[in-house]
Chain A
Amino acid sequence: MTVIEGITVFVLAAFVGFEVITKVSPTLHTPLMSGSNAISGITIIGALIVAGTASGTLAGVVGFIAVVFATINVVGGFLVTDRMLEMFRRGDGR
């Protein structure tokens, strides 16, 4: 992947992000914030690669902490969002 290809992907994805988010109802802003926060935990991929291929103590320690941090972000973010959204319900026939 060249840098220019990467920038292309980045800019297009940012536009998609703007389009998708502008339409979100204010009712859902808190779950949206925690849900998108969980998605930013995608950096876990990098953490896994670092930890998995680490040779040497320093790289191992850095990789391990990175995996811990990213996993907290991913697991916690998706779970707490699900916990919030589980409670949203429509009125019965009103």
Chain B
Amino acid sequence: MSESLAAVLYLAASALFIVGLRRLSSPSTARSGNQIAAVGMLIAVVVTLIVTEVVGWRLILGGILVGGMIGAVAALRVPMTAMPELVAAFNGFGGGASALVAAAELLTGPAPSTTTSVTIVLSTAIGVITLTGSFVAFGKLRGLVPGRPITYRGQVVVDVLLAACVVGTGAWVVAAGGDLAFVLLAATSSVLGVARVLPIGGADMPVVIALLNSLSGMAAAATGFVIQSPPLIIGGALVGASGLILGSIMSRAMNRSLPDILFGAFGSDESMALQAVAGAPVRATTPEDVAIILGYARSVIVVPGYGLAVAQAQHALKDVADLLEEHSVEVRYAIHPVAGRMPGHMNVLLAEADVPYDQLVEMEQINSDFPHTDVALVVGANDVVNPSARDDSGSPIFGMPILEVDKAGTVIVVKRSLSPGFAGIDNPLFYLGNTVMLFSDAKQGLAEVAAALRDL
């Protein structure tokens, strides 16, 4: 294959990435978009294998076989609820691969020019930070590492020192080279990755994953400079930009700035407002009552939260919705931007339960409908429907956009207990006059409501 043909095919692969990303913007074209991007990747891989004078086929085939098996098994077996940690893990592997490629270039290549040294340092530092940061995020999401922010005195000083060490060892690699300098660069970068993610609370992990995704793109782009490969630079830049945008969209949905999330250690002062309304009267209800309220409503808006997914209650919820539609009740779903464990996660979970995506309504569109809605059914959601985010300037989540379910005629909350949510603060919604609580596991409670609806 001639060099220019290879270059054209690499360009085609890059174009397919862009077309694929573009098609991911609409649910009807998204699947083909992902497949188009995958075809682009396949082209890039095949071209590389043809143009490289390969001597080590065993290493390549063995590596693809092992990596492919691990990736495929993980992708096909993971439950949809565990999507955030899976994305974090895949992301970490990508960053690690970029760093290893840069390392190999330094170890085995001819003595690099200053420019190449700089890109090797960038690729290594960013790649290693992505690797260790992603695995701390993975651990937090899995519950292997405490999800609460881990903080200590002088943290900022330590972080600044670590960052300075990374820059210092990087400069050492560029100026003098040598294996020791490189090993120290990798070591300080890996510690920095861990130290930066540890103080961030579990609730903010989705934003962190988006940013780490962006970093893994940057690492790939830096590697593209090291091995002089345009598709790496293009693919890496695309991902670097997309991750950054996603992270900022998400943080805006939580009414927090990116610096605040990265350096704010949110949620460390748990239970600050816990006692505020505890002891106020709460109206508990039965599945039969819930069935009657829902069955005779004209319009119902369901607000699903992550608790729904934890209880694996998506299918039970879909049963209730189907029965209500048989009773000619209009059913829609209100999706908060941060519902679930990462942006858009709730949409995936409901899609898994066969809920059509055109019944899912974004927060901005549906908030004005709550005052004309008979019943809001809140299942497993808490902070995203907490009115104190709107009314109480002293609340830690004040200013976070919420779904204004309290304006609906009746609010039904399905929840195990009155315990606080992710943010660790009490929810005045539970004590409102138009709120009734169904204290139950979401799956069991909804199944009982469905049974009662059938008898209605």
Q: Which residues of A contact B (CB under 8 A)?
A: 1, 3, 6, 9-11, 13-18, 20-56, 58-60, 62-92, 94
* A33 CB contacts on chain B under 8 angstroms: 87, 209-210, 213, 243, 246, 342-344
Q: How far is the CA of A27 from the CA of B274 in the complex (A)?
A: 33
7 interchain residue pairs of minimum CB distance: A71-B67, A67-B63, A17-B241, A76-B71, A91-B356, A29-B344, A13-B237
Contact between B344 and A38, CB atoms less than 8 A apart: no
Given A26-B362, A78-B37, A84-B351, A39–B344 Cβ distance below 8 Å?
A: no
Contact between B356 and A94, CB atoms less than 8 A apart: yes
Contact between A75 and B72, CB atoms less than 8 A apart: yes
* Closest beta carbon of chain B to A30's beta carbon, Å: 4
**Given contacts A29-B246, A37-B87, could you give 8 more A-B pairs where the C-beta distance is less than 8 Å?**
A1-B230, A10-B221, A16-B237, A33-B87, A37-B239, A39-B41, A44-B41, A76-B70
Contact between A31 and B24, CB atoms less than 8 A apart: yes
Is the C-beta of B155 less than 8 angstroms from some C-beta in chain A?
A: no
Is the C-beta of B55 less than 8 angstroms from some C-beta in chain A?
A: yes
* B41 CB contacts on chain A under 8 angstroms: 38-39, 41-42, 44, 74, 78
Residue of A nearest to B353 (CB): A87
* Closest beta carbon of chain A to B363's beta carbon, Å: 9
Contact between B343 and A29, CB atoms less than 8 A apart: yes
Residue of A nearest to B113 (CB): A3
Say which size band chain B's interface belongs to.
35 or more
Of the listed stretches B91-99, B406-414, B435-443, name the one at the interface; the rest are far from the partner chain: B91-99
Q: How far is the CA of A15 from the CA of B35 in the complex (A)?
A: 23
* A58 CB contacts on chain B under 8 angstroms: 107-108
* B8 CB contacts on chain A under 8 angstroms: none
Q: How far is the CA of A65 from the CA of B70 in the complex (A)?
A: 13
Residue of A nearest to B87 (CB): A34
The B interface, classified by DSSP as helix, strand, loop or mixed, is helix
Q: Which of B54, B86, B100, B237 contacts A80 (CB 8 A)?
A: B86
Contact between B59 and A42, CB atoms less than 8 A apart: no
Q: How far is the CA of A84 from the CA of B454 in the complex (A)?
A: 32
Contact between A76 and B74, CB atoms less than 8 A apart: yes
Contact between A46 and B223, CB atoms less than 8 A apart: yes
Contact between A16 and B356, CB atoms less than 8 A apart: no
A-B contact pairs, 26 of them (CB 8 A): A9-B234, A10-B236, A17-B21, A27-B362, A33-B213, A35-B21, A36-B239, A41-B97, A42-B41, A43-B236, A62-B104, A63-B59, A69-B96, A70-B67, A75-B72, A76-B70, A76-B74, A77-B71, A78-B38, A78-B41, A80-B86, A84-B83, A87-B354, A88-B30, A88-B347, A90-B357
Q: How far is the CA of A88 from the CA of B357 in the complex (A)?
A: 7
Q: How far is the CA of A31 from the CA of B21 in the complex (A)?
A: 11
Q: How far is the CA of A14 from the CA of B21 in the complex (A)?
A: 13
Contact between B219 and A43, CB atoms less than 8 A apart: yes
